[in-house]
Amino acid sequence: MRLPIQILAICGSTRQSSSNHHLIQAIRNLSAGRFAVTQLDSLTDIPHFNPDLDLTADSAPAAVQAFRAQLAAADAVLICTPEYAIGVPGTLKNAIDWTVSSMHFSGKPVALVTAGTSGHKAHQSLLGTLLIIESKIAPAAQLVVSSVKTKVNDQGVITDAATEMQVRKLVDALEAVVLGKEEELLPAPSLF
């Protein structure tokens, strides 16, 4: 395994001043030296999922092929997303739908952070999706950050001590999964 661990970060929000984007920045800073975090440019470049455009190898739209290539090159994926109308943002679910048949999440270590006003419903829903497409998600690599706007600032600094500790544990858990050391993880506290 080449180090640092190569992480593809996906922000479920397309908003310019997204708290989830700020959380990705915070995780990049907290994991420096251990993770090299590359953020996916934009979910909005990925067209609406249509299986008819994906019938043969290499027939998928260019943006989809680029997304899949970034997933394939990454050792692990970090998803930070808000909840919209008690669900997963459509742009994020759309991108993931393109990977169901291509299996790009199969066996891929994933850390899932859902951050918003609340976030629990979207978290449950997205967790179900990621598990059915065979992502490897340790319980300690899952986190819901409610009231996120009071916990991370626009400089990518986590301003809430408890949240910072939870994020550090999430980084440890994702690293352990990538390095095949999951058995060393302590059980995670219940999210719900």
Ligand X SMILES: Cc1cc2nc3c(=O)[nH]c(=O)nc-3n(C[C@H](O)[C@H](O)[C@H](O)COP(=O)(O)O)c2cc1C
Q: ∠ CA 180-183-187 to the nearest 5 degrees? A: 125
- Backbone phi, psi, residue 144, to 5°: -110, 125
Hey, how many other C-beta atoms are within 10 angstroms of the C-beta on 47?
Answer: 15
Q: Of 50-58, 82-90, 104-112, 129-137, which part binds ligand X (CB under 6 A)? A: 82-90
Q: How far is the CB of 170 from ligand X (least distance, A)?
A: 17
Q: Are 136 and 163 in contact (CB under 8 A)?
A: no
Of 75, 65, 88, the C-alpha closest to 31 is 75
Q: Of 38-46, 91-99, 117-125, 134-142, which part binds ligand X (CB under 6 A)? A: 117-125
- Choosing from 31, 91, 119, 130, the residue that interacts with ligand X (CB under 6 A) is 119
Q: What is the 3-state secondary structure (H, E, C) of 99-110?
A: CCCCCCCCCCEE
- Choosing from 101, 117, 150, 159, the residue that interacts with ligand X (CB under 6 A) is 117
Q: Which residues pair with 79 in a beta bridge?
A: 10, 112
Q: Which is nearer to ligand X, 72 or 86 (CB)?
A: 86
Q: How far is the CB of 63 from ligand X (least distance, A)?
A: 21
Burial track 22-45 (b if 16+ CB lie within 10 A, e otherwise): bbbbbbbebbeeebbbebbeebee
Q: Is 89 in the site for ligand X (CB under 6 A)?
A: no
Q: Which is nearer to ligand X, 13 or 163 (CB)?
A: 13
Q: Is 116 in the site for ligand X (CB under 6 A)?
A: yes
Q: Which is nearer to ligand X, 13 or 135 (CB)?
A: 13
Q: Which is nearer to ligand X, 75 or 83 (CB)?
A: 83
- Choosing from 27, 64, 140, 148, the residue that interacts with ligand X (CB under 6 A) is 148
The residues binding ligand X (CB under 6 A) are: 13, 15, 18-20, 82-86, 116-119, 148-149
